[in-house]
Structure 1
Amino acid sequence: MGAGPPVMLCHGFPESWYSWRYQIPALADAGFRVVSLDMKGYGQSTAPPDIEEYSQEQICQDLVTFMDKMGIPQVTLVGHDWGGSVVWNMAQCHPERVRAVASLNTPLFPVDPSKDPMNFLKTVPIFNYQLYFQNPGVAETEMEKDLARTFKIFFRGSGDEDNVPTINTSGVCARGGLFVGLPDEIPRSSILSETALQFYITQFKDKGFRGPLNWYRNVVSNWKWLCSRPRAKLLMPALMVTAGKDPVLLPVFSRGMENMIPNLTRGHIEECGHWTQMERPSELNTILISWLKDTHSNMGVAVTPKL
């Protein structure tokens, strides 16, 4: 949607291009060409069954190929959750294709060649769900059993009623499932309309969760790939938006990012949980548009080559 410098939106787990429904028209109206993807394994994208198809190296290469086919030499990337990891990895490993980069909730985690990533996950209790996701078929069965319940459990705002049980991402392996202990009937959150709920159900009912969960099953290969790459500073303009009530991607994790990213702008929405685009769209749009306009006014006009 729109015309102008291209901005590519990359969603996370377990979402869709539709997760950016409040941002797409706002960014287009602000003078940008907005490209909102179904990431690999989701919606209308291809969803190969092989785990290695969902490594960060492969997904970044897929994005480069996509940009080539779209005739986009350089793009501003905006990512959330897993999409945030993708945009940081694109900025590190394909910097010539990235004009500017922004991430919601997901900080740049510097790779540490001396730290086994699976052992690291075991030391952080709130990341235990990622260990539960490692065994193919197990989490798929749990999440595909009742799609409406699954999305009503996932998509909850930070301001929802205190008496509604929410996901605990710690101790998942010991409990035997992410949803174990939650009631059968889950009320729909104020951030999730009935229309949106039905949209997500239709997007997942055919392909299920295998592709999306495979993103989590490349922890070691992603680490090895990033360890093999030069670890230079990211010199393009960057934006990090933290959310004060995200229970997993804590704002504190973003401390020190300025050491790797000299041209970093920060935004923060305190009363916001994990689903930033849905829960605080107007605040987020203000932050994004201000940064995008500032970034592009300082960088000249991008020239799109003729195909």
Structure 2
Amino acid sequence: MRILRTDEARFAGLPDYPFTPHYLDVAPNLRMHYVDEGPESASPVLMLHGEPSWSYLYRHMIPQVAAAGYRVLAPDLIGFGKSDKPAAVEDYSYERHMEWLASWLEALNLTNVTLVCQNWGSLLGLRLAAEHPQRFSRIIVGNGMLPTGENRVPTAFSLWKAFASHSPWFPIGRIVQLGTERTLSKAELAAYEAPFPTADYKAGARAFPKLVPLSGDDPSGEANREAWRVLEKWRKPFITCFSSGDPITRGGDRYMQRRIPGAHGQPHITLRGGHFLQEDSPEDFSRIIIDALKSEMAA
């Protein structure tokens, strides 16, 4: 496996991203980067990004939740951000991503975790919580799901998968902008491009759409069905925080609210914005997290 590592100089001076980098080897010669802000002894909040973003997506939320007294951890998935990047699309699989993320979670020995996840952060995070339920105390999902291949996929996703697989042009910043209602600045667009100096570095971003289970016999379908068997008995708080303008995940919030016991009676909310609600409604998204954590303390 050929591993690429983005030069640290490409991340110098990014707007609103002053965080000290932290690194952990999650496999031999494979380094994962993560943000770790707030008191180390405080309850951890794990923020998982998706496709094709990185922890920069949470830059406006991390300080707010940390300032409220919580420890915020935001890893860059392998292939993204400041984390190492295997150079071939074939180097990535759903199971490998799960192994890398579980290795990180266990190495840090995180417990009483509040999971905040969106997009592929949900495909990985919901599996992670289901497979390590003793480490998680609540789940907050924004614009994400845990597909098993048994339900019809939206046309918008099929088009996106074809583009990621076949287009010679794969502009990361513009892709994020397409999923965001507000206009990103040139510096913000450049920040999303920063991890990917050449096309070789984008293998992980191109791989993700192919890894979504689309049929019942998909290799990851059964593992996801097993995770759902856990989630169908999940009685810890489960909150959905979807946006009003996402054609890909629309309706997934109501589906999870019906199916997961811990979702009953929770303060589910629909926020203004596109697919990347961290860009469109970061203050409101942060408030949902902080209120959920405070409600537990009050109880």
- TM (norm. structure 2) is 0.74
Write out per-residue CA displacement over residues 159-208 of structure 1, whole angstroms, 9 at most, x where no aligned residue: 56xxxxxxxxxxxxxxxxxxxxxxxxxxxx2xx12322221222122453
C-alpha offsets along residues 236-275 of structure 1, whole Å, 9 cap, x if unaligned? 221110111112221x232232343212234333431111
* CA distance in structure 2 between the aligned counterparts of 1:286 and 1:83, rounded to whole angstroms: 20
> What is the letter of the counterpart of residue 197 of structure 1?
L
Matched ranges for 1:141-220 at <5 A? 141-143=168-170, 147=171, 150-156=172-178, 189=183, 192-206=184-198, 207-218=200-211, 219=213, 220=218
Whether contact under 8 Å (1:16, 1:38) holds in the other structure is: yes
Shift of the 267–205 alpha-carbon distance from structure 1 to 2, 3 Å rule, reads farther
Match of 1:288 in 2: 289
Alignment identity in percent?
Answer: 25
CA pair 205-51 structure 1, distance change in 2 beyond 3 A: closer
Q: 1:9 to 1:53 in 2, by over 3 A?
A: farther
Counterpart code for 1:263:
G
Mapped pair 1:240 → 2:226: no
Cα distance in 2, alignment partners of residues 281 and 221 from structure 1 = 35
Maintained 8 Å contact 1:245/1:273 = yes
Q: Which residue of 1 aligns with 2:27?
A: none
Structure with the higher strand share, 1 or 2: 2
Letter in 2 for 1:152: R
CA contact (8 A) 1:47 1:211 kept: yes
Partner of residue 275, structure 1: 276
1:6–1:75 Cα contact (<8 Å) kept: yes
Cα 1:57–1:203 shift into 2, 3 Å: same
Aligned to 2:43: 5
Structure 2 CA distance for aligned equivalents of residues 74 and 50 of structure 1: 36
Distance 1:131 1:158, change over 3 A: closer
CA shift in 2, pair 1:217/1:157, >3 Å? closer
In 1: Cα distance, 2:187 partner to 2:164 partner = 32
Q: 1:228 to 1:271 in 2, by over 3 A?
A: closer
Q: Deviations over 1:59-87 (max 9, x none)?
A: 22322211222232442211111112222
Distance 2:157 2:177 in 1: 18
Give SS of 2:291's match.
Answer: helix
SS in 2 for 1:9: strand
Are the aligned partners of 1:56 and 1:89 in contact in 2 as well (CA < 8 Å)?
no
When the two structures are superposed, what TM-score results if normalisation uses the length of structure 1? 0.72
Q: Which runs of 5+ in 2 are unaligned?
A: 1-36
Task: Name the structure 2 match of 1:226.
Answer: 224
1:105-134 superposed Cα distances (whole Å, 9 cap, x missing partner) = 11354x36xx3x7xx34xx32221244157
Gaps of 5+ in 1: 161-188, 299-307
Say if 2:157 is the partner of 1:127: yes
| Equivalent of residue 68 in structure 1, options 106, 110, 117 | 106
Instruction: From the superposition, tell whether residues 230 and 105 of structure 1 become closer, same or farther in structure 2 (CA, over 3 Å).
Output: closer
Counterpart of 1:263? Answer: 262
Q: Any idea what SS the aligned residue of 2:194 has?
A: helix
Opposite residue 261 of structure 1, the aligned amino acid is I
Q: Give the Cα separation in 1 of the matches to 2:225 and 2:289.
A: 31
Q: What is the aligned length?
A: 251
* Cα displacement (A) at 1:153: 4.8
Letter in 2 for 1:223: G
Q: Would you say the 8 A contact 1:8–1:35 is kept in 2?
A: yes
The alpha carbon displacement at 1:37 in A equals: 1.0
